[in-house]
Amino acid sequence: MELTLWTYEGPPHVGAMRIATSMEGVHYVLHAPQGDTYADLLFTMIERRGLRPPVTYTTFQARDLGGDTAELVQRSIRQAVERFQPEALLVGESCTAELIQDQPGALAAGMNLGVPMVNLELPAYSKKENWGAAETFYQLVRTLLKPQLPAPGTPKPSPSRWREEGRRPRVNLLGPSLLGFRCRDDVLEITRLLAEHGIDVAVVAPLGARPADLERIPTADANVCLYPEVAGPVCSWLERSFGTSVVRTVPIGIGATATFLRELHGVLDLELPADLQTVEGQPSEAERRSRLPWYSRSVDSTYLTGKRVFIFADATHAIAAARIASRELGFQVVGLGSYSREQAREVRAAAAELGLEALITDDYLVVEKAMGEAAAELVLGTQMERHSAKRLGLPCAVISAPLHVQDVPARYSPQMGWEGANVIFDSWVHPLMMGLEEHLIGMFRHDFEFVDGHRSHLGDGAPTAAGTGEPEAAAAPVAAPVPAPGTTTAADAVREALESLWTADGEAELAKIPFFVRGKVRKNTEAFARERGLARIDAEALYDAKAHFSR
């Protein structure tokens, strides 16, 4: 039993709904009680879908439990097939139905429905949404491709068979789904990118695909695993069973997009264009196609140097963000984590590369605590981290599911490819103060017009108390732990004890430090005082600490 106040991922059957709703011609019969239909609003409200999810809920009640719920399942299946005439049927159960063991999949198998049927067994008490999506996608593809399975010992198809067949090479884009972060635009961006390199897209799935499209998957020369959370298992299975190569680099960011293109050219045995070869002094495709490289080098971006960034997201976006932040924007990554336990190993490896230990958790309060302790200056996270960051007074950009209606913007805003890199530059940098602006605030902060802590571009208005004490809570993570009332009495006592250490001249000196680093300086100085056993923190102690930490 685990106390959950909020969860990053829904139950696994919601993952199955994501697959069914992403596709056309698929229907999902879900053995579930009243109330489980709430999941429909994820699609109709967050994604603003104009169609109901293709899901039939059996809606069993307590009084049915004594009777024949199996008959209810069969009736629901029969009616759904008649009404919706699906090209493929998914049959499964939600958490409660799993307990009553009606085995709806087995019942459906005995019904002679005349459509391909997938019996989904998604353990609701041990697995979560992304696992459910991946498993459903894999089971559906496997069921539909069964008749095409090559005999054991069949040689692997050559990824360059396109050449012999006298056509352009083609790949599948696997993984994009509803409720995935910016999938709609990523598909468009990657399709364009591939077209520029003479590569066609055979099948995009699950988003927008029909069962018949899934049957065309083996016609591609390679599979692109765009979202490992959803397409990882299916790509591995296709590689094992059909010998189809998989391109696993996720093209988010400049480096990753270039690597992706090189990997793709290698797999397809295509000649690498000159501007994808790393030749000194030669403009790269990235420079030509994206603004991020130059924007990042331009002088205004100097202020980005070493900005402390805390990252928490699904594995794909967390790993990509860490790479972009550290290599392409010159930030310092001070925290990296994910709620995707299935990809924990990859996240741990990415963190280790940055000298960090990855935070793998699904407890948002643990994430918020880590965010505060890391003394971050920018947070890249999910909508929940946006709220946590707001409480800590930190700027934040959202980089990952779970989605909010805001994460399905009207405008084109991919994360992948060259345009994705542009979108990322804007959306990560805008929450921060721009370089020249930061410089000017530092210069004029003693002017009477200047209200400490006010960041005009964030529209958060002036802090209520215009003095020097109050705005700190907004700017300094360590000073604003925002606990639930009465939770941290011991910590409060420590806090008070530390605050009483400060002398008037120490406080005065601290107030001269720009508010956006003041919290960090205060925390460091207090740590220094504690370590040295200082009885008072005066201006000298502050400068001693500053020298100590600048080593």
Partner 1 sequence: MGVSAPPIQPSPPDILKESGQREVFCGLTSIVWLHRRMPDAFFLVVGSRTCAHLIQSAAGVMIFAEPRFGTAILGERDLAGLADANEELDRLVKDLLERRPEIRTLFLVGSCPSEVIKLDLAKAAERLNTQLLGRVRVLNYSGSGIETTFTQGEDNALLAMLPLLPSSDEEQLLIVGTLADAVEDRFRLIFERLGITTVRSLPPRRSTDLPPVGKGTRVLLAQPFLSATARALQHRGATLLSAPYPFGVEGSRDWMAAAAHAFGVPTDRFNAVLDPLVERGRRALEPHREVLAGKRLFLLPDSQMEIPLARFLSRECGMELVEVGTPYLDRQLMAADLALLPPDTQLSEGQDVDLQLERVRAARPDLVLCGLGLANPLEAEGIATKWSIELVFSPIHGCDQAGELAELFARPLRRRALLQLS
Residues 193-212 close enough to bind partner 1 by CB under 8 A: none
Span from 29-37, 247-255, 308-316, 498-506 in contact with partner 1 (CB under 8 A): 29-37
Span from 55-63, 200-208, 372-380, 442-450 in contact with partner 1 (CB under 8 A): 55-63
The Cα 205–Cα 177 span in angstroms is: 8
Closest distance to partner 1 from the beta carbon of 186 (Å):
23
Which one of residues 18, 27, 128, 523 is an interface residue with partner 1 (CB under 8 A)? Answer: 128
Residues 75-104 close enough to bind partner 1 by CB under 8 A: 76, 79, 83, 94-96, 99-100
Helix (H, G, I), strand (E, B) or coil at 15: helix
Q: Is 6 in the site for partner 1 (CB under 8 A)?
A: yes
Q: Starting from the edge strand earliest in sequence, which strands make up the sheet with 55-57, in order?
A: 55-57, 26-31, 88-93, 117-119
Which one of residues 16, 19, 20, 39 is an interface residue with partner 1 (CB under 8 A)? Answer: 39
Helix (H, G, I), strand (E, B) or coil at 390: helix
Of 96 and 468, nearer to partner 1 (C-beta) is: 96
Q: Would you call 191 exposed, middle or buried from its count of C-beta atoms within 10 A (0-12, 13-18, 19+)?
A: middle
Strands (DSSP E) found in 131-258: 170-174, 200-205, 222-225, 245-247
Of 56 and 244, nearer to partner 1 (C-beta) is: 56
Residues 344-403 close enough to bind partner 1 by CB under 8 A: 365, 383-384, 387, 391
Residue 397 phi, psi dihedral angles, 5° rounding: -125, 140
Closest distance to partner 1 from the beta carbon of 493 (Å):
15
The Cα 452–Cα 512 span in angstroms is: 11
Which amino acid appears at position 294 of this protein?
W
77: tokens are: 């299946």
Span from 52-60, 112-120, 329-337, 513-521 in contact with partner 1 (CB under 8 A): 52-60
Helix (H, G, I), strand (E, B) or coil at 214: helix
Question: What are the angstrom distances between the C-alpha of 523 and each of 129, 355, 369, 442?
Answer: 39, 22, 15, 21
* Interface pattern 434-473 for partner 1 (x via CB under 8 A): ----------------------------------------
Q: Is 21 in the site for partner 1 (CB under 8 A)?
A: no
Q: Is 175 in the site for partner 1 (CB under 8 A)?
A: no
Of 123 and 461, nearer to partner 1 (C-beta) is: 123
380: tokens are: 């890249």
Which one of residues 410, 484, 490, 504 is an interface residue with partner 1 (CB under 8 A)? Answer: 484
The Cα 462–Cα 451 span in angstroms is: 7
The Cα 9–Cα 12 span in angstroms is: 9
**H-helix or E-strand containing 88?**
strand 88-93
Q: How many CB atoms lie within 10 A of CB 351?
A: 23
Q: Is 476 in the site for partner 1 (CB under 8 A)?
A: no
Q: Is 486 in the site for partner 1 (CB under 8 A)?
A: yes
Known catalytic residue at 300? yes
Closest distance to partner 1 from the beta carbon of 459 (Å):
18
The Cα 510–Cα 468 span in angstroms is: 10
Contacts of 440 (CB under 8 A, 6+ apart): none
Q: Is 59 in the site for partner 1 (CB under 8 A)?
A: yes
Of 248 and 390, nearer to partner 1 (C-beta) is: 390
Q: Please spell the DSSP secondary structure of 468-519, one letter per residue.
A: SSTHHHHH-GGG---PPTTS-HHHHHHHHHHHTTB-HHHHHHHHTS-HHHHH
Q: Is 490 in the site for partner 1 (CB under 8 A)?
A: no
* Interface pattern 398-437 for partner 1 (x via CB under 8 A): ------x---------------------------------
Closest distance to partner 1 from the beta carbon of 43 (Å):
8
User: How many residues at the interface with partner 1, by CB under 8 A?
Assistant: 61
Identified catalytic residue from 300, 362, 363, 544: 300
Give the footprint of partner 1 on this chain (CB under 8 A): 1-7, 9-11, 13-14, 33-42, 44-45, 48-52, 56-62, 65, 76, 79, 83, 94-96, 99-100, 123-126, 128, 365, 383-384, 387, 391, 404, 482, 484-487
Q: Which residues form the catalytic set?
A: 300
